Amino acid sequence: MTTPLPGDFALTRIEGITGRLVAAGQALVGDAAPVQHAFVYVGYGMVVQAMPGGAEYIPIREASPVVQWSTGHIALTSEQRATIITEAGWLVSTPYSYLDYVSLGLAHFRIRPAWVRDFVADTGHMICSQLVDEVYLRAGVHLFDDGRLPGDVTPGDLWKLLNPKRVTSTDRDLWRLAYG
């Protein structure tokens, strides 16, 4: 088992109907992966995760079982780790947004009216993978260099980032095609 460092993120499965719905949505937009959730480890056995009731700070033992950690995949300085932890704390209580899932689906089909793009870019609400992407961005770490807008990230995207050998060239080109 990998031992996470503060600032690392985890990818997990979600059981039940919610997990099946997220998995189906990810498959629909080309992000099929064995994970449906992400959270950030902030140290001392605690994580920050986006949930339907708002982003929360919980003990890791209460979180979904980890499928994969980012540990060893993304080089982070101690300053970046400290910033990720701090920024994750600032996002606790941030409301969840099911509409962001709709926007991610629309982006896949190249439907991106300005109001939808602006809604996703607004960090006043977010899903789990957006929270991970946002705290890394605030620490100066850009997880994706494929032209996507900030916030255009699913748990499947994070999984593909950590598992590039399992990703086809078609998968890599999806976001490039979506944004012309």
pLDDT tens-digit map of 118-162:
776 766 888 899 999 999 999 999 999 888 877 788 898 999 999
Whether 3 is in a domain gets the answer: no
Whether 115 is in a domain gets the answer: yes
pTM for the structure as a whole: 0.83
Whether 67 is in a domain gets the answer: yes
SS3 labels along 102-153: HHHHHHHCCCCCHHHHHHHHCCCCCCHHHHHHHHHHHCCCCCCCCCCCCCCC
Element (H, E) at 39: strand 37-43
N- to C-terminal Cα separation, the chain: 40
Whether 179 is in a domain gets the answer: no
Are 69 and 2 contacting, i.e. CB atoms less than 8 angstroms apart? yes
Whether 47 is in a domain gets the answer: yes
Domain that holds residue 79: 9-171
Per DSSP, the three-state class of 87 is helix
pLDDT level of residue 74 (50, 70, 90 thresholds): very high
Whether 157 is in a domain gets the answer: yes
- In the sheet that 66-69 helps form, which strands lie side by side, from edge to edge? 56-59, 46-49, 37-43, 9-12, 66-69
CB-count exposure of residue 153 (10 Å: 0-12, 13-18, 19+): buried
The CATH number linked to 63 is 3.90.1720
Whether 176 is in a domain gets the answer: no
Are 133 and 151 contacting, i.e. CB atoms less than 8 angstroms apart? yes
Residue written as token pair 């033992």 = 61
pLDDT score of 95 more than 70: yes
- Structure token pair of residue 162: 């950590």
Q: For Cα atoms 119, 124, 163, give the angle at the middle one, nearest 5 degrees.
A: 80
Whether 177 is in a domain gets the answer: no
What's the pLDDT tens digit per position in 36-57?
899 999 999 999 999 988 999 9
Domain count, the chain: 1
